[in-house]
Amino acid sequence: MRYEILGEPLPVVTCHVSAGETMITERGSMSWMTPNMKMETSTNGGIGKALGRMFSGDSIFQNRYTAMGGEGMIAFASSFPGSIRALEIGPGNNMIVQKSAFLASEEGVELSLHFQKKLGAGLFGGEGFIMQKLSGQGIAFIEIDGYAVEYVLQPGQQMVIDTGYLAAMTVGCSLEIQTVPGVKNMLFGGEGIFNTVVSGPGKVILQTMPVSNVAATLRPFFPQAK
C-alpha cells in the first residue's frame, strides 16, 4: 500500500492498494475511490469487538474496501480541521489513541477498547476513561485536532498536558492526573483543576486544537435555547 497525505489543515489521505489488498475504516470515512474498490460492511471480529469499538467512541460496524482485478485507490478525509498521521503498528509499537481518532488502516491492524487503569485519570484526565488501542501489524491513519507535535519520552521522563491535548501515546507510556497546585491557581488561573501527566518510556503525540476547546470557545456565540 502506498499513501499520500494532502491538504492540511483540511487533510485527506489517498491510499493506492494492490489487487486483493483491503483497507478498513469506520462508516462514513470514505471520501472517494476508484470503481474497482469493493465495499463490505461487517462487525470485523464479532459482536464483542464491535461493542468494544462502540464504547470507545466508534461505530459497531466497519467497512472493508478491497481492490478487485488490479490496483485501486481510496481516499479518507478528516472530519475536523487538523492533521492526519500515519502510524506504523507492529510488535512493540502498539498505540493508545483518543476516542474517535481512528480514520482507516490496513487489514492487519486491530482496533480495540482500552481502559484507563487509574480511575482518576479516566474521570478527570480529559482523554476519558475509555480510549482506543491499535495493535496487530500495518499502517493506521488517525485524525489529529489541529497540528500534531511529537515527543519521545525517556524512562521516567514526564510531560504535563492540559486537558484534551493528548492525541496518542505508545503503550509503554503511563497516564495519571495531578491537581493544579494552589487554590488560587485552580480558581483563577483559567487552566482548570486537573492536568494529565504522561510518563515514559515511549512516544506521545499532542494536538494543538482539541475539538472540545473549539466547541467551548464558540458556545457563547450560539443562540441559547429558551
Q: How far is CA 64 from the centre of its chain?
A: 19
Upstream peptide bond of 155 is cis (omega within 30 degrees of 0): no
Q: What are the domain boundaries of the chain?
A: 2-219
Question: At CB < 8 A and 24+ separation, what contacts does 49-54 make?
Answer: 49/110, 49/112, 52/112, 52/113, 53/111, 53/112, 53/113, 53/132
pTM: 0.83
pLDDT tens by residue, 83-113: 999 999 999 899 999 988 999 999 999 988 8
pLDDT tens by residue, 119-156: 444 444 444 557 899 999 999 999 999 999 999 999 99
Q: Is residue 117 a contact partner of residue 52, using CB atoms and an 8 Å limit?
A: no
∠ CA 165-167-173, rounded to 5°? 105
Place of cell 470503481: 35
- The CA-atom distances, in angstroms, between 8 and each of 82, 105, 133, 168, 214 are 7, 19, 25, 19, 18
Instruction: Return the C-alpha cell found at 134.
Output: 491499535
Phi-psi sector, 183: left (phi>0), alpha (psi -120 to 50), beta: alpha
Q: What is the mean pLDDT of residues 214-224?
A: 84
CATH superfamily of 2-219: Mitochondrial biogenesis AIM24 (3.60.160.10)
Q: What is the mean pLDDT of residues 204-214?
A: 92
